[in-house]
């Protein structure tokens, strides 16, 4: 698969994601990750799909890969918030609190930080 093919596949996968066609988008994002094409962003989208499907352990795994590969991404506030909520859903409250706190510290002006502050107050 050449770069233009990968770019086109990513555009299509993101369009499918936006209209909640996750079943069709998943193999595309997985192919792009396997091809090492924008693996941080594609893992983020896989994390989002599993988050919305309430498969929190899978979401956490993809979020972790994404954040490890590129921690300056524009979607980091959402990744941190959804990671924290995912940890909360699997009853890992220490990690949830750590992710909420990191989000508040690093992105204090984000809309996600406001949600994190509220959520953190309910688990502490």
- Quick one: pLDDT at residue 99? 98
- Quick one: pLDDT at residue 1? 83
Parent domain of 39 = 3-123
| Residue 47, CA distances (Å) to 32, 60, 71, 119, 123 in order | 14, 7, 15, 20, 23
- Residue bearing tokens 């220490």: 94
CATH at residue 30: 1.25.40.10
Encoding tokens for residue 121?
């107050």
What integer is the mean pLDDT of 24-41? 98
What are 72-104's pLDDT values in tens digits?
A: 999 999 999 999 999 999 999 999 999 999 999
Percentage, residues of the chain above pLDDT 90 = 98
Q: What is the pTM of this model?
A: 0.96
CA 20 – CA 6 distance, rounded (Å): 21
**Strands, E, within the chain: which ranges?**
none
- Split into its structural domains, the chain has a count of 1
Q: How confident is the model at residue 47 (pLDDT cuts 50, 70, 90)?
A: very high
DSSP 8-state assignment for residue 73: -
What integer is the mean pLDDT of 8-12? 98
């Amino acid at each position: 698969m050449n770069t233009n093919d990968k770019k086109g596949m990513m555009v299509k996968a993101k369009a499918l994601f936006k209209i909640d066609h996750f079943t069709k988008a998943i193999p595309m994002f997985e192919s792009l990750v396997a091809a090492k094409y924008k693996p941080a962003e594609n893992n983020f989208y896989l994390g989002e799909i599993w988050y919305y499907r309430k498969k929190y352990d899978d979401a956490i795994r993809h979020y972790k890969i994404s954040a490890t590969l590129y921690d300056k991404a524009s979607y980091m506030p959402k990744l941190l918030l959804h990671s924290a909520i995912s940890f909360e859903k699997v009853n890992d409250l220490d990690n949830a609190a750590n992710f909420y706190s990191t989000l508040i510290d690093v992105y204090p002006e984000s809309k996600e930080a406001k949600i994190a502050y509220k959520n953190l107050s309910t688990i502490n």
